[in-house]
């Protein structure tokens, strides 16, 4: 990008930010108030974007309304947690029924075993399952179990991987990560990754891997890469933990099953709680049985709300009454059409669309994108300008270009969004600075 192009882009962003501020006085006031009591007015980092984050007042179907009264079609899908949309009647009825029976019961309830059965039925490599409150907890518990089973301390993860707020490896890691001894693999690099597993095998309890790196930009692993990792971990006695918190939505029985891989453990979360707070980990029965509290040497697993009645009811209703194989297949075929259409629209301008099925990423690089290294030259200002311009046209995606479709999104929404992106690029020559 030339100096002049960079200045032009900065000027366009300033105009877009000023327009955003002027049109959202209620949001601005709420942001200022929030900053008095929360750092940066924020309690979830990913939701922040300048000049201040949008605040949503209500949602229904695949639509949301912000506090200033602007309506949007929601293509963010709560970062994959919102698979059912904002107001599915079946799930709402289940939650209302659970509410009528009382909260915080302090005992086993009537939903949890049925939800566990629905999950083990859907995901073939999960023989036994335990619930948590988030995908973060699920991954921490899965890793901890692998450390006990193998007697080894360390983990292997891919650069760019996100396995929860305490297991983030964008840029190689985070200062607040859990203090596991960690070996970094280069995503989609079979030779480097397999060599690293062999080199550190004696200290590695587990490999934790996503079949599609969602937070890194919807980067899809080569099937050959995943199979090479599975073969190496089996040979070396390293637990293979598939983080399917996001990717379980990409095929009827999860992403690993779709590509023919059977992990030792799988972690789940997001939509499987019906859109409420949820996480789970499960897998080999002989390993998961270590948590059987009737055994004298059982491993502890605490969590007051692991089986909270609202999530159990919502998750059960969603899995048994709302989605089936046909719904998941249809959702992901729609996502594939979206990704192909977006790529066709933006590739002439040096952008690309990545992902798999209902998870899509938009990037100001020409591609292909096979690891985070391929995004190193992506200009964040280009992403910001696209995000702000789409908001003005009534479309909500993540500021970083992430899209996760809900089952409420229709074919017309797909076509209309592709048209909106095409219009944004036509009307904003600054976005072509990626060329």
Q: Per-residue DSSP letters for 139-174?
A: HHHHHHHHHHHH---EEEEETT-B-STT-B-GGG--
Angstrom CA distances, 85 to 96, 150, 181, 250, stand at: 17, 40, 39, 16
Terminal-residue alpha carbon distance, the chain:
8
What's 334's DSSP letter? H
- CA gap 123, 126 in Å, rounded: 6
Q: What angle do CA 244, 245, 248 make, to 5 degrees?
A: 50
Buried/exposed 132-152: b ≥16 CB within 10 Å, e otherwise: bbbbbbbbbbbbbbbbebbeb
Question: Quick check: 78 and 272 in contact, CB under 8 A?
Answer: no
Q: Where are the domains of the chain?
A: 112-318
Question: Quick check: 160 and 170 in contact, CB under 8 A?
Answer: yes
Question: Quick check: 87 and 81 in contact, CB under 8 A?
Answer: no
Q: Residue 432's pLDDT is what?
A: 85
DSSP-assigned beta bridge partners for residue 281: 130, 267
Question: Quick check: 113 and 164 in contact, CB under 8 A?
Answer: no
Per-residue pLDDT of the chain (435 residues), as tens digits, is 676 778 899 999 999 999 999 999 999 999 999 999 999 999 999 999 999 999 999 999 999 999 999 999 999 999 999 999 999 999 999 999 999 999 999 999 999 999 999 999 999 999 999 999 999 999 999 999 999 999 999 999 999 999 999 999 998 789 999 999 999 999 999 999 999 999 999 999 999 999 999 999 999 999 999 999 999 999 999 999 999 999 999 999 999 999 999 999 999 999 999 999 999 999 999 999 999 999 999 999 999 999 999 999 999 999 999 999 999 999 999 999 999 999 999 999 999 999 999 999 999 999 999 999 999 999 999 999 999 999 999 999 999 999 999 999 999 999 999 999 999 999 999 998 666
Question: From edge to edge, which strands make up the β-sheet containing 56-60?
Answer: 56-60, 63-66, 71-74, 395-396
Q: Residue 433's pLDDT is what?
A: 67
- CA gap 427, 429 in Å, rounded: 6
**Sequence-distant (≥ 6) Cβ neighbours of residue 187 within 8 angstroms:** 158, 159, 160, 161, 193, 213, 216, 219, 221, 225, 370, 371, 372
Q: Residue 171's pLDDT is what?
A: 85
- CA gap 242, 268 in Å, rounded: 9
| Paired tokens of 110 | 């009537």
| Paired tokens of 289 | 């049985």
Question: Quick check: 207 and 263 in contact, CB under 8 A?
Answer: no
- CA gap 396, 399 in Å, rounded: 9
Architecture of domain 112-318: 3-Layer(aba) Sandwich (3.40)
- CA gap 340, 360 in Å, rounded: 10
């Amino acid at each position: 990008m030339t100096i002049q192009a960079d200045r032009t882009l900065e000027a366009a962003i300033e105009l877009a930010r000023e327009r955003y501020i002027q049109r959202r006085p209620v949001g601005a006031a709420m942001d200022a108030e929030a900053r008095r009591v929360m750092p940066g007015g924020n309690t979830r980092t990913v939701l922040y974007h300048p000049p201040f984050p949008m605040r949503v007042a209500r949602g229904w179907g695949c639509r949301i309304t912000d506090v200033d009264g602007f309506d949007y079609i929601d293509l963010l899908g709560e970062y994959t947690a919102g698979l059912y949309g904002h107001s599915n009647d079946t799930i709402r009825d289940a939650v209302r029924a659970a509410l009528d029976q009382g909260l915080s019961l302090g005992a086993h309830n009537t939903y949890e075993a049925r939800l566990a059965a629905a999950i083990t039925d859907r995901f073939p490599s999960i023989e036994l399952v335990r619930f948590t409150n988030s995908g973060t907890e699920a991954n921490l518990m899965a890793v901890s179990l692998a450390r006990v089973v193998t007697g080894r301390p360390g983990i292997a993860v891919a650069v760019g991987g996100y396995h929860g707020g305490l297991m983030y490896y964008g840029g190689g890691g985070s200062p607040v990560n859990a203090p596991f001894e960690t070996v970094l693999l280069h995503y989609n690099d079979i030779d480097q990754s397999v060599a690293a597993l062999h080199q550190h095998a004696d200290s590695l309890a587990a490999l934790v891997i996503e079949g599609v790196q969602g937070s890194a930009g919807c980067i899809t692993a080569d099937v050959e890469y995943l199979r090479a990792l599975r073969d190496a971990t089996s040979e070396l006695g390293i637990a293979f933990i598939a983080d399917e918190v996001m990717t379980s939505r990409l095929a009827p029985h999860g992403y690993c099953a779709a590509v023919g891989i059977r992990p030792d453990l799988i972690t789940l979360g997001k939509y499987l709680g019906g859109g409420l707070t949820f996480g789970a980990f499960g897998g080999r029965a002989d390993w998961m049985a270590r948590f059987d509290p009737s055994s004298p040497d059982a491993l502890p697993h605490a969590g007051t709300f692991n089986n909270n009645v609202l999530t159990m009811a919502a998750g059960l209703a969603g899995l048994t009454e709302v989605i089936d194989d046909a719904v998941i297949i249809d959702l992901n075929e729609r996502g594939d059409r979206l990704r192909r259409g977006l790529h066709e629209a933006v590739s002439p301008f040096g952008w690309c669309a990545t992902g798999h099925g209902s998870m899509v990423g938009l990037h100001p690089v020409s591609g292909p994108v096979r690891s985070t290294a391929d995004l190193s030259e992506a200009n964040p200002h280009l992403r910001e300008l696209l995000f702000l311009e789409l908001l003005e046209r009534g479309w909500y995606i993540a500021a970083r270009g992430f899209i996760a479709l809900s089952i409420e999104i229709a074919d017309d929404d797909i076509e209309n969004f592709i048209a909106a992106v095409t219009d944004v690029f036509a009307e904003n020559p600054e976005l072509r600075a990626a060329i």
